Amino acid sequence: MTRYSPLTPPPRLLMGPGPINCYPRVLSAMSTQLVGQYDPVMTGYMNEVMALYREVFNTKNQQTFLVDGTSRAGIEAVLVSAIEPGDKVLVPIFGRFGHLLAEIAERADAEVHTIEVPWGEVFTAEQIETAIKEVQPKMLAIVQGDTSTTMLQPLADIGAICEAHDVLFYCDATASVAGNPLEVDAWKLDAVSVGLQKCLGGPSGSAPITLSDKFVKTVRTRHHVEAGIRDEHHQSARGPRIRSNYFDLPMIMDYWGDERLNHHTEAATMLYCARECARVHLEEGQEQVIARHKVAGDAMLAGIQAMGLRPFGDLKHKMNNVVGVYIPDEVDGEAVRETLLLQFNIEIGTSFGPLKGKIWRIGTMGYNARQDAVLNTLQSLETVLRMQGMTLPAGAGVDAALSTYAEAANA
């Protein structure tokens, strides 16, 4: 018989590409006792979550709610609900999560067309427009911030292109939301999905999404009500049925909407969590939170450069909340990470695919987009690199970060 001790994890400072440490208020919210699924208190919380995430997403979209799963559950719900077998989907890929969008669309039997730029770059609006003209897809699916490369794809000019060509515009903004601007209505996005575990400062496990009226109209053509709760008002089966029950967005909309048709049992604790993440974010203020991520990211970058380390990728398009750092030739990248973790309780990230073994990724997200977290990480990295035999200008990283913070305070 196994028993195991109570949860007593070490107090890690999570400075990787996410997940990161939760805001303390978010942790507290998750220990709140439950109410029933159709309790007026619960449906009230559901409506509040919809309103709060409309603010987070900067949208008026009625259909703004949670998918119960990790951020890739949100992605799959959007794609599998919209795509009918044979539909053309265009996926511009600039990192690992572009590959993921293509893979999920392929499994939904879309005809997937991809364009790629080298890791560390982003697309121009012209490149995307050219591909849209050539492919004439039903949907454009693109990542906003891809932590695998630290790049932030500009989206502001793409919505108008999609609109002109009658293309649904979907974006996975999991890694970028709340740390970088995201203007769903102004940028004419039709669907956006995110997660809580990056700049929103929660754990993975709930995927807020927002859907434009145009997107909703498209997926509603495939609306089927579940057997067992069908009645004379809910018979309509039109387009081919969505292949997933769990990710059937029209059914989930009927559950979050006034109809309250039974679907899954809402993951109440993760709903409490998502609600508190949004409250923390909006109470501090979106612009303030993004500015806090910007200065933390700038300070980390300045510190890295002052230490003589080289950042990865096109810095004009770097996300605020993560930086890639070339691993110096003279050190063992994994040994550095392990010493930071086990001796300093600081986690920084490794990399995937073409960058594996070549760069570390250091994040400054959510609760950890803080001066003390940046300074502590830079000092500890300097110490560990010195332990590995490197010669570094003493204190140069932390001094540069302090200067960045001082300049920001005076600006």
Q: Which is nearer to a copy of itself, 159 or 195 (CB)?
A: 195
Minimal distance, residue 35 CB to a copy of itself, in Å: 5
Residue 120 tokens, joined: 């560390």
Contacts 24+ apart (CB under 8 A), 128-135: 128/92, 128/158, 128/161, 129/161, 131/90, 131/92, 132/90, 132/161, 132/162, 132/165, 132/167, 133/165, 135/88, 135/90
Local structure of residue 120 (DSSP, 8 states) = T
Does residue 37 belong to the site contacting a copy of itself (CB under 8 A)?
yes
Candidate ranges 128-136, 178-186, 242-250, 319-327; the one touching a copy of itself (CB under 8 A): 242-250
Buried b (16+ CB within 10 A) or exposed e, 115-150: bebebbbbbeeeebbebbeebebbbbbbbbbbbbbb
Q: Which is nearer to a copy of itself, 35 or 408 (CB)?
A: 35
Binding positions for a copy of itself, 109-168, rule CB under 8 A? 109
Does residue 344 belong to the site contacting a copy of itself (CB under 8 A)?
no
Binding positions for a copy of itself, 351-390, rule CB under 8 A? 352-353
Candidate ranges 50-58, 176-184, 323-331, 368-376; the one touching a copy of itself (CB under 8 A): 50-58
Q: Which of 155, 184, 242, 295 binds a copy of itself (CB under 8 A)?
A: 242
Binding positions for a copy of itself, 276-305, rule CB under 8 A? 276, 279, 282-283
Contact 247, 81 (CB under 8 A): yes
Q: Which of 115, 267, 390, 396 binds a copy of itself (CB under 8 A)?
A: 267
Q: Which is nearer to a copy of itself, 51 or 406 (CB)?
A: 51
At residue 128, the 3 state secondary structure works out as helix
Q: Which is nearer to a copy of itself, 20 or 132 (CB)?
A: 20
361 labeled part of a ligand binding site: yes
Q: Which is nearer to a copy of itself, 68 or 298 (CB)?
A: 68
Residue 376 tokens, joined: 């502590």
Residue at 393: amino acid letter: P
Cα-Cα-Cα-Cα dihedral sign, residues 82, 86, 89, 95: positive
Helix (H) or strand (E) holding 246: none
CA angle 103, 105, 109 (to 5 degrees): 110
Does residue 34 belong to the site contacting a copy of itself (CB under 8 A)?
yes
214 burial (CB, 10 Å; 0-12 / 13-18 / 19+) is middle
Helix (H) or strand (E) holding 138: none
Does residue 397 belong to the site contacting a copy of itself (CB under 8 A)?
no
Q: Which is nearer to a copy of itself, 9 or 389 (CB)?
A: 9
Q: Which is nearer to a copy of itself, 125 or 282 (CB)?
A: 282
At residue 122, the 3 state secondary structure works out as coil
Contact 264, 206 (CB under 8 A): no
Minimal distance, residue 244 CB to a copy of itself, in Å: 6
Minimal distance, residue 53 CB to a copy of itself, in Å: 10
Q: Which is nearer to a copy of itself, 109 or 111 (CB)?
A: 109
Q: Which of 133, 241, 310, 386 binds a copy of itself (CB under 8 A)?
A: 241
Residue 253 CB neighbours (<10 A): 21
Binding positions for a copy of itself, 246-265, rule CB under 8 A? 246-247, 262, 264-265
Binding positions for a copy of itself, 168-197, rule CB under 8 A? 195, 197
Q: Which of 55, 213, 259, 332 binds a copy of itself (CB under 8 A)?
A: 55
- The residues, any chain, with a CB within 8 Å of residue 163's CB and separated by 6 or more, are 169, 188
Does residue 268 belong to the site contacting a copy of itself (CB under 8 A)?
yes
Binding-site residue positions for substrate: 361
